Amino acid sequence: MEIQTAEQLNTKCDKIRETSLKILRGESVPTSEWQEFNNNVREICIYHEEKIDEVFDTLKQDIISNINRTKEKITSINDQSLLEVYVDEWKQFYSACGFLSMGFQAMESEIYTISKIDLKKYDVRIFMLENWNEIIFSEIKNRVEKSLFELIDKERLNGNQEFDLRLLLGVRESFVNLGVVDRADKLYNYRETFEKDYMNAMREFYRIQISDYINRDENFIEYLILTIGKEEAKGKKYLEPDYELEEVLTQCLADVFVSPFKDIFLIEFSRCIHRKDVEKLRFVYFYMNLVFDDSSMHDLLEENIVSICLSEIIDIVDIIPLDLSKYVEKIGDLFNRFYKMVKIVFNDDPTFVISRNKAFNRVVVDDSSKCPELANFCDTLLRKTVLSKKLGLGPSGNVENMLKNVILLVEHIGNKDIFMIYYKSHLARRLILETSADCKHEKMMIEGLKAVMPPEYVNKVVKMFDDVDTSRVLNQDFKKLDRFKDSFFSIKILNSWIWGREISDEISVSLPVELKNYFSEMEVFYLRNCHGRKFSWYHQMSHGTVRFVSLMGVFDLDVTIFQLAVLFALDVDGRISFDELRLATNLSDVELKKTIWSILSVPLMKHKVIICYPEVKAVDGFQNETFFGVNDDFSLIRNGKCLTRGKVNLMGRLQFSR
């Protein structure tokens, strides 16, 4: 490095000062001059340590002089112009603070590397901010703040009259950067001054405004809600972004606009529920929750849900007896609406979930008469019926949605045990007759019931599916025997405990020889493979299809085992009396009468499979002398035409309930 004379060194110091003064005065500094400034500062720091204090002392004196001149300028003007002048001067000073701090940063770094001395003594930024605060801001900040809040109040009074946001940002920037600059929490001074003063000014402004507004406007709640929204947005715009800001701001808004008007907000809480205004309800609840306890809102939620549900159900009360699907669909829509509302508005708060469920329980009256209807409706959906087919052909998920609605309803009925009795009976019929429309829907329903039913109600139902699968495997193994591989018989071997049957339930009946032989072989096979088990026949569940040939055509008849016994007896003996039929079938009087009547009373059939002499009008009209015979002229009539082939279901509803 070239050795410099004292005059050259002083020249460099003078140039440093000259550039510093330009920056303090807000004058433009060319790039070349700025680069020379940085080089001079670094050179003095590295090669002329004895000049460091002199340079800093000169800079500090210039900074103090500049601040004092600015103070004279600011304090000489009135309050009306003070805010704008202060912000202009602050912006210039704060910009100079940044440039000078950047320019002398190299010196600070070199000082620390070489001397390990206290950097704070040479921190230009700290020095500038501390002196601005002490000399200027501490004396006028109240006046500046007052002028600013007056502008904000004018904007509140007239929403279209916006003020220069630059003024607010300048004042806020002063509070953020001045004060306790070496504290770990840099925003502490700002929060304790400007932020608190802003909140207090807002409280005072609306204390007066609200007292006037409440007496002259009926739509006061809309004013409060609208104002909360405006002030929330204004606060986030006017106050320094901070992790604590949202919590402090919302609590202040709740104290000002919500806390004094509990009754008004509770009324609006109910209105939002009735209007299905989820977003507004969430807004109202959020602020109410900051100042009120939840108990009053819990009660309101419950009462409003009950009121809405009952009023909407009343609108379809005349349709329910004719079409239960409308009731199930309505309940599902209502419940899903409030499930969604509680999730969105209350974030599934357990206390509000309890209130919602209590309301649902009140809506779904504990009336056991609805349980059979509901179980029947499930059966209609899950069995191969016109409705299940129609829903299956419709938009995807129709059956699933309807079943979900049923599960929602079942969750809140009181007599779950009664529902399960009927549901299990229908399920048994579907599994034995193999009439389920879709196994996926059956399993979906069971999974849904598991979620809402006590385990003891569902366990046996679940095992019924396993039992049917086990029976299918046994039949497959049995038919592997050569003499039965072409058999069209299928025997379901079921656990009596699971299906709720006892040996005492067995009803004796005389069967055709082919069936007797097959049953005997199956019994031997089962007992040989399943040691220690008892085996009994439950003929009430047995069914099959027989081919009936009349003079008019060939028809397939779906029959119960008891109907099969009656038809075979008539086919063998032709025309026989009731007494003779009883001996031939080995059925009791009661069971035989029910069986014959089930064949005679098939609805919408013009011709009957058997003929009764004399004709009877009811099941108790059969006497020992009543004669029966096969109708050789049997045929099916459809659209006025006689069919020569067809299928007839004589079984009706097999009695699987105990």
Distance CA 216, CA 156 (A): 18
DSSP output for 125-177: HHHHHHHHIIIIIHHHHHHHHHHHHHHHHHHHH-TT----HHHHHHHHHHHHH
Is the residue at 642 inside a domain?
A: yes
- Which amino acid is residue 374, in one-letter code? L
Domain count, the chain: 5
Cβ neighbors of 409 (< 8 A, separation 6 or more) are 328, 331, 332, 335, 364, 374
Report the alpha-carbon distance of residue 128 to residue 265 in Å, rounded: 51
Query: How many C-beta atoms lie closer than 10 Å to residue 624's C-beta?
Result: 11
- Chain centroid to Cα 563, Å, comes to 52
Confidence at residue 396, expressed as pLDDT on a 0 to 100 scale: 47
Q: Looking at the structure, do residues 504 and 416 belong to the same domain, yes or no?
A: no
Same domain? 567 vs 609? yes
Residue at 202 is within a domain: no
Q: What is the pLDDT of residue 658?
A: 41
Q: Is 289 inside any structural domain?
A: yes
Same domain, 108 and 21: yes
Q: Which pLDDT value is given to residue 119?
A: 57
Q: How many CA atoms lie within 13 A of 341 on its CB side?
A: 26
106 and 89 in one domain?
Answer: yes
Q: Domain of 313?
A: 261-355
387 and 478 both lie in a single domain? no
pLDDT at 510: 84
pLDDT of residue 657: 46
CATH (domain of 417): 1.20.1310.10
Among candidate residues 570, 652, 569, 654, the one with its CA nearest the CA of residue 605: 652
Given 355, 390, 411, the domain boundary residue is 355
Q: What is the CATH number of the domain that holds 605?
A: 3.30.230.130
Average pLDDT along the chain, 658 residues, taken 10 residues at a time = 67 89 90 89 78 86 94 84 92 92 73 54 85 92 92 85 87 86 73 92 90 72 89 92 88 92 91 93 92 87 93 84 82 91 94 93 74 87 78 63 88 86 88 85 91 88 86 81 70 76 67 79 79 73 84 88 88 80 89 89 82 86 88 85 86 58
Question: Hey, what are 247's tokens?
Answer: 């919590």
Q: Quick one: 525 and 401 in the same domain?
A: no
Q: What is the DSSP string of 471-511?
A: HHHHHHHHTTSGGGTT---------HHHHT--GGG------
The residues facing 576 across adjacent strands are: 628
* Same domain, yes or no: 524 and 605: no
Residue at 657 is within a domain: no
Q: End of a domain among 537, 558, 581?
A: 537
> Are the C-beta atoms of residues 218 and 251 closer than 8 Å to each other?
no
| Cα 599 to Cα 181, 243, 357, 624, distances in angstroms | 100, 80, 48, 18
Cis amide linkage into residue 372, ω under 30° from 0:
no
Q: How far apart are CA 324 and CA 347, in angstroms?
A: 33
* CB-count exposure of residue 425 (10 Å: 0-12, 13-18, 19+): buried
107 CB-side CA count, 13 A: 29
Same domain, 97 and 134: yes
Whether residue 234 lies inside any domain: the answer is: no
Question: According to the model, what pLDDT value does residue 300 have?
Answer: 93
Is the same domain home to 348 and 408? no
Q: Which of 321, 355, 389 is the last residue of a domain?
A: 355
Question: Do residues 349 and 381 both lie within one domain?
Answer: no
134 belongs to a structural domain: yes
Distance (Å, rounded) from C-alpha 642 to C-alpha 638? 7
In a domain, 182, yes or no: no
**Residue 177, domain member (yes or no):** no
Do 502 and 582 fall into the same domain?
no
Based on the domain organization, do 385 and 307 belong to the same domain?
A: no
Question: Nearest Cα to 203, choosing from 227, 179, 233, 222?
Answer: 227
pLDDT for 605 equals 79
Integer angstrom CA distances of residue 164 from 18, 147, 171, 530, 647: 34, 13, 12, 93, 88
